[in-house]
Copies of this chain bind each other. A is one copy, B any other.
Amino acid sequence: MFKIGDFSKLTHVSVKALHHYDALGLFQPMQVDEWTGYRYYSFEQLPRLNRILALKDLGFSLEQIRHVLDEAVGAEEIAGMLRLRQAELEQQVEDSRERLKRVEMRLSLIQKEGKMPSHEIVLKSVVPIWVVSARELVPSPEQMRERCIALMQKIDEAVKNRKLPSTGTNLAIYHSNSEAGIDVEMAYFLEGDNPPQGEGVSKLPAIEMASVVYRGSYDDFAAVGALHVALGQWIEANGYTVVGASREIYLQPPSNLGNGLVGVMELQYPVEKVPSS
C-alpha cells in the first residue's frame, strides 16, 4: 500500500489529479484511514488507472471514462464513441490547419507592410433582405457620380410617393464592369419581411459575403479602391471565388466628428469556397 505521494511518483499522476478522481468517484483509494483521512493505494489498482490514462489520452472526458469503465458498456457502444472521436479529431486537424494558414497569411502581410493592416476582412452570412432599387448601365466612370445621384433621386421619390418602409440606409450594387460600361444598381433597404410590392422592389437572397468595413471619407477614391483590391486578394488567397455582384453599403454617411468628415461603409463580395484539390 502506498500513501498518495508515493503512488503519485509511481504513476506520474499528480496528487491533485488523484484527489480529483477520488472526488468524482472515478478512481478511489483501496483504503482510507478513518482517523487521518489518509488515502492508501495499491498495485492492484494500476490496471484501472492505466485504462483511465489511456482513455484520457484519446481525448475522452472523465465523465465518459467513468461511464465506459463502470457501466459494462458493450464493444459496440465503445466503437461508436471511438468513431465519433475520430470524426471530431479529423475536424480538429482541419480547423487547426486552416487557422494556421490564416496566421501565416497575416504574418506575411505584416512583414510586407511593416504594420498591422488597417482593415479586417471577415466572412459573414448575410440574411435575405428587401430593397427598392433602380439600375442603369453607365457608359463611363466619369458619369458615375452624376448617374448615381440621379438613380438615388428616383428611388427617393418612389419611397416618398409609395410610402415604402425604408430603413434609411442605402447601398450600391455593382453587377458588372465591362467595355459597355458599369452596370450599377442603387438601392434602399426596406424594413420587415414583406414590404409593399411594386416596381423596383425585390429581395436580395441570403449569401456568404467577404466583407470589410471602411471608415473615412467617402470621396477618398484611392483608399476605397485599395480596399476593393485587398478584398479581391483576400478572396483568392483564402480559396474563394466571387459568385455575384458586389455591394457598397453606406452605413453612415459622412458627418463631422470633430476630426474631419468621416463616414462608415461596408464593401461586400459574395463568395464561394473553391473545392481544394
Which residues of A come within 8 Å of B, CB atoms? 12, 42-44, 46-47, 50-51, 53-54, 57-59, 68, 75, 78-79, 82-83, 85-86, 89-90, 92-93, 96-97, 99-100, 102-104, 106-107, 110-111, 114-116, 119-122, 124-125, 212-213, 215, 251-252, 257, 262, 264, 266
Contacts and interface: CB of A to CB of B under 8 A. Distances in A.
Given A44-B264, A83-B107, A110-B78, A54 B120 contact: yes
Contacts of A90: 100
Contacts of A59: 99, 103
Contacts of A104: 86
Contacts of A82: 103, 106-107, 110
Contacts of A43: 251-252, 264
A75 B115 contact: yes
Given A54-B120, A75-B110, A82-B103, 11 more contacts: A44-B262, A50-B119, A50-B122, A53-B120, A57-B99, A78-B110, A82-B107, A83-B107, A89-B100, A92-B96, A93-B100
Contacts of A110: 75, 78-79, 82
A60 B251 CA distance: 29
